[in-house]
Amino acid sequence: MSSIADEKAFNAAAEEAIGRVLAAERDARAAVEQARLEVERIAEAARLADRALAERTERRIRAAVAAFERELAGRMAEIDAAAARLTTPHVLSDSEQAALHAAVGVLARELVGADS
């Protein structure tokens, strides 16, 4: 009789061990699935962060280009205005013409070494 009791105890211990192994396997599969889901969540979060960074970068680049274009347009307008002023001859007033003649006379006397 003791061999039957020993066999039953052995079978119970074996079944208990098999149950522990199956439970551990089930827990391991669940842990692997949980890890896979976490990896997918992390990857999606990284993709979202990447898209957000790319969009912010694009907005900043567009803002910098727009600011540059505005500044360039302002400078070009200044250059165009200066060019327009250069093509319009300045008509000397009577007082400007008299001052010019006096300055030319002083310069001519200095060049020839005459006393002023």
Q: Could you report the per-residue pLDDT of 8-30, keeping only the tens digit for each? A: 777 888 899 999 999 999 999 99
Question: What is residue 90's predicted lDDT score, i.e. its pLDDT?
Answer: 83
* pLDDT, averaged across the chain: 91
* Other beta carbons less than 10 A from residue 112's beta carbon: 7
Question: What is residue 5's predicted lDDT score, i.e. its pLDDT?
Answer: 61
For residues 116 and 68, give the distance between their C-alpha atoms in angstroms, rounded to a whole number: 56
Whether the per-residue pLDDT at 48 is higher than 70: the answer is yes
Question: What is residue 114's predicted lDDT score, i.e. its pLDDT?
Answer: 74
pLDDT grade, residue 97 (50/70/90)?
A: very high
Whether the per-residue pLDDT at 116 is higher than 70: the answer is no
Write the pLDDT tens digit of every residue in 28-47.
999 999 999 999 999 999 99
Maximum separation of any 2 CA atoms in the chain, in Å: 152
* Other beta carbons less than 10 A from residue 55's beta carbon: 10
